[in-house]
Amino acid sequence: MDLVKFKGFTFVEGGICAPHGFRAAGIHCGVRKNKEKRDLALIAAEHSCAAAAMYTRNKVKGAPIAVTKKHLENGTARAVIVNSGNANTCNADGVEKANQMCKATAAALKIPEDEVIVASTGVIGEPLPIEPIVKGIPTLARALSTEGSEQAAEAIMTTDTVKKELALSFSLDGVNCTVAGIAKGSGMIHPNMATMLCFLTTDVAIGAVLLKKALTQVVDETFHMVSIDGDTSTNDMVSCMASGDADMKPITSAEDPRYAVFVNALYVLLMNLSRAIAADGEGATKLLECTVTDAPDRATARRVAKSVITSSLFKAAMFGADANWGRILCAIGYTEGSFSIDKVAVTLKSEKGTLPVCQNGSGVPFQETKAKRILEADEIKILISLGGGDCSAIAWGCDLTYDYVKINGDYRT
């Protein structure tokens, strides 16, 4: 999957540690049976940071979310501790163990316990083995490094097949700034909040209220627009710590022109992480990107894009490189909104060519051999015009394959 680049924003090395003021590490502590897989990650700041987070809207929530929400009430944080292999969800002692993770992290870093963000990912409903985590945290803290992003990114993976870490450099009135993130997500992903775990850092000087405002806006346009399988997880979280270590005057108002630049930087970063998550969907072979234009309003554009990208029938057709465009029209047709199907146009596109398949709600003749060639590419774009407005939206997903069923048929065992 190629990164989508924008003028004025440059991807740089270093991952989550690229912004000034952050270190990270990842180790195997023993939560996961496979000793070759890291299962405990730590991100630490040199001092207290402005912090904000967003969480799953699933009524069933992992215990770490309750603890993190309480800790971020004052808008500051200094560390993130996260384990993979066990979600610490639907357990009677879940909050107690999440607090133990924070307490052990605070002791190892010599920081206040309420400045620790905690997260877990993995199997739901199984008691979290806290002993290996508590025992491993001092080792993890000693391993902290400005080169530790890759290890931390590995430690939060579950069924992911690739690490997801990015860092982006940009200028705010001549001051070089950076925003970075690591994420995990491959299954149980559907647009309803963040739909995975994502931890962000930045050296931009910005307060917690504005940071939350920016995060909310960008997550709505990126992670909210990703769907792998239509299932919203119980533990999803996006958090961001802003160290303010860039040599700049703080951004104190959304009217400050620098705020808009920061929001754009967040968008470039999270949009590319969204694409990475969609491309790495469980069993996926293709990244699907659905762009809806000419919609009467943004909400309708978003609903149509997500409806198409979530359709199991459409996703299966893309796996088989079958230009069954009727499934796209079907998904558009059951979407809530005021628009005319008689004005809808659909085009399928990849690096191998462009194929109009529908105009004014009716089929356009095309060669099946050409269609198959186009749809055999690793990235497919679905371009939809609703023909009745000037609003647009983009959603990301993946094909539905045999391997998705296989992976989830024996996920616990």
SS3 per-residue string spanning the chain:
CCCCCCCCCEECCCHHHCCCCEEEEEECCCCCCCCCCCCEEEEEEEEEEEEEEEECCCCCCCHHHHHHHHHHHHCEEEEEEEEEEECCCCCCCHHHHHHHHHHHHHHHHCCCHHHEEEEEEEECCCCCCHHHHHHHHHHHHHCCECCCHHHHHHHCCCCCCCCEEEEEEEEECCEEEEEEEEEECCCCCCCCCCCCEEEEEECCCECHHHHHHHHHHHHHHCHHHECCCCCCCCCCEEEEEECCCCCCCCECCCCCHHHHHHHHHHHHHHHHHHHHHHHCCCCCCCEEEEEEEEECCHHHHHHHHHHHHHCHHHHHHHHCCCCCCHHHHHHHHCCCCCCCHHHCEEEEEECCEEEEEEECCEECCCCHHHHHHHHCCCEEEEEEECCCCCEEEEEEEECCCHHHHHHHHCCCC
Nearest to 359 by CA among 380, 385, 335, 336: 385
- Residues 21 and 187: their CA atoms lie apart, in Å, by 32
167 in the same domain as 43: yes
Residue 5 lies in a domain: no
> Does the pLDDT value for residue 289 go beyond 90?
yes
Residue 22 lies in a domain: yes
pLDDT at 218: 96
> Does the pLDDT value for residue 48 go beyond 50?
yes
pLDDT at 232: 57
Residue 150 lies in a domain: yes
258 in the same domain as 367: no
Q: Please provide the average confidence, as pLDDT, over all residues in the chain.
A: 92
Q: pTM, whole model, 2 decimals?
A: 0.89
175's tokens: 């001051």
Residue 2 lies in a domain: no
303 in the same domain as 270: no
- Read off the CATH number of the domain in which 345 is found: 3.10.20.340
Number of helices (H) and strands (E), helices first, in the chain?
A: 11, 15
Point out the residues that are catalytic. 195
Residue 253 lies in a domain: yes
Q: How does pLDDT run across 113-130, given as a tens digit for each residue? A: 999 999 999 888 889 999
> Does the pLDDT value for residue 194 go beyond 60?
no
Domain range for 296 is: 287-409
pLDDT at 408: 66
Q: Which of 57-71, 146-160, 276-290 has the highest mean pLDDT?
A: 146-160
pLDDT at 235: 66
pLDDT at 193: 34
147 in the same domain as 61: yes
Residue with the larger pLDDT of the pair 158 and 32: 32
125 in the same domain as 53: yes
Q: Show which of 255, 279, 303 is a domain's final residue.
A: 279
Nearest to 384 by CA among 316, 266, 315, 300: 300
- Residues 82 and 16: their CA atoms lie apart, in Å, by 14
Q: C-alpha angle 350/354/360, rounded to 5°?
A: 125
Residue 115 lies in a domain: yes
- Read off the CATH number of the domain in which 270 is found: 3.60.70.12
263 in the same domain as 124: yes
Query: How much is the average pLDDT of 20-44?
Result: 95
Per-residue pLDDT band at 234 (split at 50, 70, 90): low
320 in the same domain as 177: no
Q: Show which of 247, 279, 311 is a domain's final residue.
A: 279
140 in the same domain as 31: yes
Nearest to 183 by CA among 225, 152, 146, 217: 152
291 in the same domain as 259: no
- Residues 60 and 362: their CA atoms lie apart, in Å, by 43
Per-residue pLDDT band at 189 (split at 50, 70, 90): very low
211 in the same domain as 354: no
Nearest to 347 by CA among 378, 387, 306: 387
- Residues 53 and 8: their CA atoms lie apart, in Å, by 26
Scanning the structure block, which residue is given the tokens 């309480």? 70
227 in the same domain as 251: yes
Task: Give the range among 83-87, 195-199, 376-380 with minimum mean pLDDT.
Answer: 195-199
336 in the same domain as 386: yes
Q: How does pLDDT run across 345-399, given as a tens digit for each residue? A: 999 999 999 999 999 999 999 999 999 999 999 999 999 999 989 999 999 999 8
pLDDT at 287: 94
Residue 146 lies in a domain: yes
Q: Show which of 249, 279, 309 is a domain's final residue.
A: 279
- Residues 388 and 45: their CA atoms lie apart, in Å, by 49
Total of domains in the chain: 2
Per-residue pLDDT band at 231 (split at 50, 70, 90): low
Task: Give the range among 162-166, 176-180, 205-209, 268-272 with minimum mean pLDDT.
Answer: 162-166
Our measurement of the distance from residue 126's CA atom to the centroid of its chain's CA atoms, rounded to an integer in Å, reads 25
pLDDT at 195: 39
Residue 61 lies in a domain: yes
- Residues 306 and 331: their CA atoms lie apart, in Å, by 9
- List all residues 6 or more positions away from 167 whose beta carbon is below 8 Å from its beta carbon: 11, 12, 13, 14, 15, 16, 18, 19, 149, 178, 179, 180, 181
